[in-house]
Every structure is written in structure tokens, then in C-alpha cells.
Structure 1
Amino acid sequence: MTRRAVITGIGAVAPGGVGRDRMWDLLTAGRTATRTISLFDASGFRSRIAAECDFDPAAAGLSPQEIRRMDRAAQFAVVSAREAIADSGIDAAGYDPARITVSVGSAVGCTMGLEQEYAVLSDGGRKWLVDHRYGVPHLYGYMVPSTLAVEVAWQIGAEGPVALISTGCTSGLDAVGHAVQLIEEGGADLAVAGATDAPLSPITSACFDAIRATSPHNDDPEHASRPFDGRRNGFVLGEGSAIMVIEEAEAARARGARIYAEVSGFASRSNAYHMTGLKPDGREMAEAIRVALDRARLDPAAVGYVNAHGSGTKQNDRHETAAFKRTLGAHAYRVPVSSIKSMIGHSLGAIGSLEVAASALALHHQVVPPTANLTVADPECDLDYVPGDAREHRMDVVLSVGSGFGGFQSAMVLSRC
């Protein structure tokens, strides 16, 4: 019997609101959560805007010890995992702990904790030789990204495979894909999977400023993220987390679980070409899409909605538009395509999991979230990008794609159950 993997619980910490329902309300309302950076003084940077999470760890249920121990990215992941587990109605005590797996993605790990601690240890960067005595007791945990996955594993008592997936901006998609493969091959019966990133710090802003990848549209943050728009001039940094509970389909049905979607196909490819550059023909992303659809045993015409990477950079939007045309053919002009980065920014490794969560919710509610700030047509981006307003739309299959630094290209197919 072929084992199938389904999503039965979703938790999220996202710009604009903590929790799955608040995120979905923001997306379907077409509201943007981008604003001037408040987490640090960004006045000296080229891009001074971001999509920040209004997150109070104590209000979100974390204890003083957890708050002291965890970096902000870990806090996001744990809060999201708790919501996902509660949403699924799962009783982990009924599972063999060795059959529970955790897969968490992150592009930049505990960036905020590391930068804050370096500033203290080096006396604001004035000392080349840092004084370790000023470090917090859990500094080692900040330096080892796998602690993010460990914190989530502790929440559910997982003693099976526990992994941290770091593949740049496809980390969230790839972490979910890894968990799904373990369910399908019989290596696990229950998975808690997704991604987290809290990259909003001076070092991150400096890095993206240096390559001019982020938008300098500082005087109007709300409209700075413009995927597929002819005026787009870079992405807007974000932060957040989405964690999902993934189960074997028959077991989920047997316990009467609500199923958001089946993960019916996944594939990842690398372009072996350039760290940040993308070829305009979209060949590498198209190959990931083709293989994901093949694994799902679906014809391209079955795709009812495409949740795009849609970063708002000129080359990425052009690249994936070409990829959709290569794989979907004439159907590419009929299927709605949208980018939620227009509303919640680009949270690096976390965004792929937020997009998978949004895709599953789109299937569940039969609503396509819009692409905000799309008002000026770009002749090279000529598909139906659902500008402005959410759209009720009958769909049985959603394609979600991601593109990451290093040449990573990933595609995931979700099917209605």
C-alpha cells in the first residue's frame, strides 16, 4: 500500500499577527504588514523597511526560562508548533516516540541572538578579542542551528529523526518535503515540520544592502513589496514561522482528523550556475515543477492555483514566470498566480513554510490570496497574478514554488482530500 502524507495542523507566527487565523485574515484582506524597521536603528541603511512580527513571547505562552534560553527564531518555531499540534487534535502520547519526526528549516539560524551577543562580548565591536565571560549561558545554542529543531522536538517528545534543513530561501519547502518523504517511505508516522527565521538585524540588512537586493522604497513601506509589478525594485525582508503537523493519510482519517491538504508531490533542483543569479528561461525551476507534478501523478492542467515565490526582484519574477509557461503551457495563462510576499515580506528560510501553510489554507477555504501592490503591468510578467483582492476560486490542486540563493529551486504540489 502506498503511504500518503497529509497536513492536519497548522501554526504560524507572521507579520501582522500571531496565529494561523490572523495570518489568513491579513492575506485574504490584501493588507500589507511592511513598515519602517523598529527592532534596531536602521537609519544608516539603504533599505530601512521590513515586515516585522508583533510578537510578545510571554503573551504567546513562553515561560521566563524559555524566553531566556531561546533566540527569537526558536521562540517563533515553538509557538507555531504548539498551535499546530493543538490545531491537529493529535495525542502524541499515542505514538511510539521513535516514530515521530521533526524537520525544521532555517536560512540564517539564530542571527539575532548571535549579533546581540557579539555586540556585548566585543564591547560594541571595539575589541577584536572578545571576552567570553559576558556571554549568556546558552550562547552555544545560538551557534548551532540544529537547536531550533531540538526545541520543537522537545515540545512533542519526538525521538525519531530530527533535522535542521538549511537551503537558503527554499528551506521551508525543503523541510516540509523532507518530513513528507519520511512519512511516505515508512520512516515515521507523525511529523512536525516547517521553518523559522528571525533575520531582522544590522548584519542581515548590511548584507542585502551590499548586493542591492532589498527595496529602498523607504518613504512608503506599505507599497514597497511589489511582486510582478513593472516598478518592482527588490524584496522586503520579513520574519516569522509556520509549522505543520503531517500524518499518514489513513491514520489521520481513522482518528477523524480534519485534513487541510495532501502533499502529493515534491521536488528540488539546483541550477549549478550562480549563487544569486537566475537564467531568464526558468529551466531549473521548471524541472522541479515537472518532477513534483510527475510524483503527484497529475497533469499540469490540474493545477488550480500557483503560490509563487514572487520576491519582487526583477530577475526572480521573470525567471519563475518563464518556468510556469514552460511547465503549464497554455494553462499558465488561465491559472491564478499570486505572491503573499507582497503582504508579509520575505522571511528567508521561513517563507517557504508560510507559503505552504497559505496554500493549504487556500485549498481548505477555496480562496486565492491576492498579490498586493500590483498596479503597473510588466510585459515580461503577463500571467493572472490576482492583483489587489482575494478571489473565491474552485481548486483541487495547488502548486507552491521557491527559489533560493545557491541556485536552489523547489516545488510542492498540494491536493484537496
Structure 2
Amino acid sequence: MRGAVTSRARRAVITGLGVVAPGGIGTKAFWETLSAGRTATRPITLFDAEPFRCRIAAEVDFDPAREGLSPKEARRLDRAGQFALVAVREALADSGIADTVDRTRLGVSLGSAIGSSTRMEEEYVAVSDRGRDWLVDHRFAVPYSYPYITVSSLATEVAWAARCEGPVVVVSAGCTSGLDAVGHAVQLVEDGTADVMITGATDAPLTPITLACFDALKATTPRNDDPAGGCRPFHRDRNGIVLGEGATVLVVEEYEHARRRGADIRAEVLGYANRANAYHMTGLRPDGLELAEAIRAALAKAEVSPSDVQYVNAHGSGTRQNDLHETSAVKRALGAHAYDIPMSSIKSMIGHSLGAIGAIEIAACVLTIRNGVIPPTANLTEQDPQCDLDYVPLVARPQRTDTVLTIGSGFGGFQSAMVLGAADLEAA
């Protein structure tokens, strides 16, 4: 059974959520998309994608003015920064954190894989005359270009918005950045460095250069004639990821701090761990050994046994390599119980937003716990026989889930796992 949470002197709980995602902005719209099994992938509209192999993505319908950003904020901030500000404002309002919070005990841990790449690419195009000039002309750059090349600027923006005076850090670990940023925030709360952490991740990778890089790897699907069905994790004929974009910000708070102020505790982060495969920059070992080790370590930290896990939020990117890798890892870590646990991939609906997706998936796990509904794997009409677990095909499944495991993989060999649980308000 789920272990004695009281063995940890300080517990980290989630008291606020803010989401910017394809299919709708805000936590309510996000959950409606997932629970309906509705895909948000479509032909790319943000730029002319005609020259590219993959011409579909999961875009956010985002208007900065409509979302409350001033003209100055919209002009100064990259799209990823705009997403982060909108998400942090929702999360802070949702958490009810008052102005009386000790700002020196309030920190930021924000993840991003590629930072402000949208504006960085735009500025390079301008100063290089569309790449013609090797020696760029700085006179054509905007005066605030420097933050576009420093990923840490995103955490700075969030810290300013939340008036944080505690520890502020960016975690950039490829596609596990969001998971790892939240994991780091939890560790800072548990070790007493902070009482409240504003954490999560943001990425807006839908740019020509990013699409070209994934095209070169042949990692994205060429299924341009079926945008809604493009991302199909665990399917017999899957053939690549669909890029997405978005942000999630969570308020992670020390349990006693949250209880004293009467906060609505949404879930508890019970355990987190990460490992590296030391194997290949983009490749994965088929046995899933290092991801299985991350899962085991997260379960041990959470004092949870495999039989207590009631749902696995899969990385589920839609590539053959990943699907086989994490199916093997889940079997290796959870044993025979793996066959009894529902497991699904929300990337089938909202795409793969690189560093942001791990945090977005944590938000999905919190909402799964709160609503008692497991989101489906969309487009899974014909399961790969080698992927022989329960991937919740097509339709959401009502089921009480008190303990959830979420996992992620990233270029560079990063493997991360986190265990979340329903708030145990009786254990103090």
C-alpha cells in the first residue's frame, strides 16, 4: 500500500495550476480537450511550412492582448515568455497565494528546452539578411535581443511577475525539462530552501529552424494528409512525432504552509528521480533499463509499491523507438502489475512541446486525480502487437486514481519519473 508519507519531514503539495496548451487556454479548456479525446493537431499556420517534410503541428490559438498582456509585454517577450506569463498569472490566482507570503521563501524553477527560439530566429533572419551575411549587422537587432539567447531570461520574467526573492533557476534538459524543473522545485521545498515554488515549463518550438532540425532527423511524421491523426503513439503504423507548444506553471508548496493558509491542495508530489542512459544523443536502448531505474527510484522515494500505481502517463511520443523503449521500461519496473495499469499518451492530442510537455503532463496527472477520469490515447485504432499494455485507446476512462506515475525521455539520454498522489490530509 501507499507508504507512510509522514516519514518525510517536509512534504511538497500542488496548490495552483496554470495551463496554456493546444486546444484551449486555461486549465478548464485543457482538461475539456483531454477528457473529450479531442486532437488539436492541424496544418501549421504560424509560418509557411510548404517546403518541409512535416507540415502539421499542435498550435496554441494565442492572442497576447486577449490573454491580458500589455502591448509592451507582447512586443518585448518571445512567444514562450508570453505563454509563461499567462500561465503564471492563472496559477497564482488559482493558488490563492496572498501578498503576505514571505518573498524570500518564494522561488522559481522553470524548464525550457530551447528558450526564446521564436524571436531569436526572427532576429537572426533580420541581422543576417535572411542568412546571406556571415558577418551580421547588429544595427538591425532590437535593443532587447540578449534575453532571446539566454534561457534563464524566462525564469527571470516569471520571478518578476510573482515577485520572487528566493532561489530562481532554469532547468534545460531537453524534453524532460518540465519534469526535471518541477522535480527540482520539490527538492527545494523538501530540503527547506523554499516554502513555495513557482514551477513548470514553457516552449514555443514551432519555427522553421526547429521544424528543419526534426525533418533532418526524420523524427516528425510526414502524415500531412491526416493532421488530426498524425500523432498515434503505440499504433501499428505510427511514424513520428507531431510538434506542439505551450506552458504549464504549478504552485508547489510545503504542506504545513499550505494547510495554515487554508489552501486547496490538489495533489502531492510523492517522489521524483532521473537517470541518463549514457548511450546515444537521440537513440534509446530497447530494454528501457535507465528509465526503469528512474521509475524504481521515484517509487522508492514515494514509498509506493508497483501495485499501488493506478495510472501511468506515458511519454508516448509516437515513434517506434520510444514506444518500445518505455513499454519495456514500465514492464521492467512494475513487473506483472504493468499489464493491469492503464497507460496513455496525451501527446496524441496536444503534440510534443519539447521542454514544456513534462510540466503539461504533470498538470494532466493532477486533473486525472482530481476528476477521476483517465485521458485516452487518441488515434489508437490498431495497437502494435509489441506494445502489449493497456493504452486506453480513443475514449477517456472513468476511474479513481489516487497514485499516478508520469515518465519522460529526452534527447541526450535523459530519463525522468515522478509519482503524484491524492492529497493525504490526514497525514501530518
TM > 0.5:
yes
Letter in 2 for 1:103: S
Provide the rounded CA distance (Å) in 1 between the counterparts of 2:120 and 2:251: 29
CA-CA distance at 1:379 after TM superposition: 1.2
The equivalent of 1:34 in structure 2 is 41
CA-CA distance at 1:330 after TM superposition: 1.1
Q: How do residues 7-406 of structure 1 correspond to structure 2 at under 5 angstroms?
A: 7-91=14-98, 93-406=99-412
Provide the rounded CA distance (Å) in 2 between the counterparts of 1:260 and 1:381: 32
SS class of match (1:94): coil
Provide the rounded CA distance (Å) in 1 between the counterparts of 2:256 and 2:406: 24
Letter in 2 for 1:228: F
Provide the rounded CA distance (Å) in 1 between the counterparts of 2:27 and 2:76: 25
Taking every aligned residue pair, what percent have the same amino acid on both sides? Answer: 65
* TM-score, normalised relative to structure 2: 0.96
Letter in 1 for 2:343: V
SS class of match (1:168): coil
SS class of match (2:18): strand
Letter in 2 for 1:297: E
Q: Which 4+ stretches in 1 moved above 4 angstroms? A: none
CA-CA distance at 1:396 after TM superposition: 1.1
Letter in 1 for 2:162: I
SS class of match (1:385): coil
CA-CA distance at 1:377 after TM superposition: 1.7
The equivalent of 2:5 in structure 1 is none
CA-CA distance at 1:123 after TM superposition: 1.4
CA-CA distance at 1:95 after TM superposition: 2.1
Provide the rounded CA distance (Å) in 2 between the counterparts of 1:166 and 1:10: 21
Letter in 2 for 1:416: A
C-alpha RMSD over aligned residues: 0.7
SS class of match (2:124): helix
CA-CA distance at 1:249 after TM superposition: 0.8
SS class of match (1:183): helix
SS class of match (2:271): strand
SS class of match (2:198): strand
Per-residue CA deviation, residues 349-378 of structure 1 (Å, 9 max, x unaligned), is 000000000001100111100000001121
Letter in 1 for 2:102: D
Provide the rounded CA distance (Å) in 1 between the counterparts of 2:317 and 2:373: 21
* TM-score, normalised relative to structure 1: 0.99
How many residues end up aligned between the 2 structures? 416
Provide the rounded CA distance (Å) in 2 between the counterparts of 1:137 and 1:53: 27
CA-CA distance at 1:258 after TM superposition: 1.1
